[in-house]
Amino acid sequence: MALRCALDQLGYDGEVISDVVLAVSELVANATEHAVGPYEMRLRRTVAEVICEIEDHDPRIPKLSAFPAARPYSPAEKHRGGGLEALCALLAERGRGLHIVHELTKGAWGFTRGTRSTKTAWLVIPANAPLLRTATVTRSDDGGRDGALESVDRSYDVDP
C-alpha cells in the first residue's frame, strides 16, 4: 500500500502503478520466503523509468533457469490432452513470479551482491516521469496513541 501511495503521489498513472506494485510484490514475496530479514525496499525514478530494489540478508544469488523466448504460458501442443496432471501443472500457484517480473520489466531485472551478508533484487519498469512534485507524508509519531501528527515534506529527485 505504501508503494502504491508513493507512486501515486509522484504522479504516475494507474497502469504504471499496477505494473510496479505487481513486480515488486513478486520480488518481496521471494525475499520473505527464501532469505532472512530485515528487508529494505528502495524506490528511485529517472526520466524514463521507475527503479525498485529489495535488499535482504542472504548473500546467495539464486540460480535461475533461462527464460524461454516465447511466452511461458502459451498453449503448447505437446500438453494438449494431458489430463488432470497437465492441467494442474499449468495452473500451479508457484513458479510464475519471476516470469511475471520478466514480462513487466521487459527483462530489466536481476540480483546484485552487496556486502558479505546482503544481496539486492532490482527491477526497472519503463515509465515517463511526470513533473517533479513534493509529496507530504503524515504519520503518527506516537504509534497512534494520542493522535499527535507529524508532517514531513520529502522531495523526490529525478535523475538526469
Right CATH number for 2-129 from 3.40.309.10, 3.30.565.10, 3.30.360.10, 3.30.160.620? 3.30.565.10
The answer for residues whose C-beta is within 8 angstroms of residue 37's C-beta and 6 or more apart is 56, 57
Task: Grade residue 122 by pLDDT with cuts at 50, 70 and 90.
Answer: very high
pLDDT at 154: 43
Grid cell 524506490 in the structure block, residue: 43
Distance from chain centroid for Cα 133: 23
Task: Grade residue 114 by pLDDT with cuts at 50, 70 and 90.
Answer: confident
Task: Grade residue 156 by pLDDT with cuts at 50, 70 and 90.
Answer: very low
Residues paired with residue 112 on neighbouring β-strands, in sequence order: 120
Tell me if residue 64 falls in helix, strand or coil: coil
Question: What cell numbers appear for 137 in the block?
Answer: 507524508
Distance from chain centroid for Cα 15: 14
pLDDT at 27: 93
CA-closest candidate to residue 108, choices 34, 23, 47: 23
Low-confidence winner among 21-30, 59-68, 116-125 (lowest mean pLDDT): 59-68
pTM as predicted = 0.66
Query: How far is residue 41's CA from residue 34's CA, in Å, rounded to a whole number?
Result: 16
